[in-house]
Amino acid sequence: MRKELLTRESADLVGLFDCGEEPYAIEVSDWIKGTGGDVWLAIRGGAEVWLYLSESEELIGFGALYPQRIHLEGSDRPLGELLTIAYFGIAKAFRKKPDGPYQNYYSRQILHDLIQQAKKHPSNPNRLALYVNPNNVGAIRLYSDPEFQFVKVGTFDGDDCMVKIF
């Protein structure tokens, strides 16, 4: 697996990306394809969007790191500015792949790489946040795994907000 930053030149790699039929999966797929232009707005706003590709140049998945000011619903005080995994998606064809132990799945490899990128990011305040739809049980299981140790701290726009402290 190799990775590269999403650029206008590499945009054709995301055209057919599909991470599922669930509403939250469609949102993620549409975002990376630039359906509403959101991915390009995020990049102009400081996001780094990483594409993860197979040896045959198929898009396995992607992750977007984005500095963001977070204020949780129902909270008196904001969490402040955190580096956020704004979007993270694995193509349906690569779920629970490669075959073998779950510790080697692409989803885990990509999340581990995003955490390493966050640790090196110039805005890193030693915390990394992400949002996850509360119905996305597989993603919540992944983020809560002891290897990653994201902890739910509240909600934002209907999604659970989880934070990892380095």
In the chain, where the domains are located:
2-165
Q: What is the pLDDT of residue 25?
A: 94
Q: What is the pLDDT of residue 157?
A: 78
DSSP 98-125: SSS-GGG-HHHHHHHHHHHHHHH-TT--
Q: What is the pLDDT of residue 36?
A: 63
Q: What is the pLDDT of residue 153?
A: 85
DSSP 74-91: T-SS--EEEEEEEEEEE-
User: What CATH number should be reported for the domain whose range is 2-165?
Assistant: 3.40.630.30
Q: What is the pLDDT of residue 146?
A: 86
CA distances from 89 to 31, 34, 77, 94, 140 (A): 10, 14, 30, 10, 13
Token representation of residue 60: 């396995």
Q: What gap in Å lies between CA 19 and CA 28, rounded to an integer?
A: 7
Instruction: Per-residue pLDDT tens, the chain, 166 aa: give them.
Output: 999 999 989 989 999 999 999 999 999 999 999 876 689 989 998 999 999 999 999 999 999 998 887 776 777 776 777 889 989 999 999 999 999 999 999 999 999 999 999 998 887 678 898 989 999 999 999 998 888 889 888 887 788 888 888 7
Residue 11 is given by DSSP the state G
Q: What is the pLDDT of residue 124?
A: 66
Q: What is the pLDDT of residue 21?
A: 95
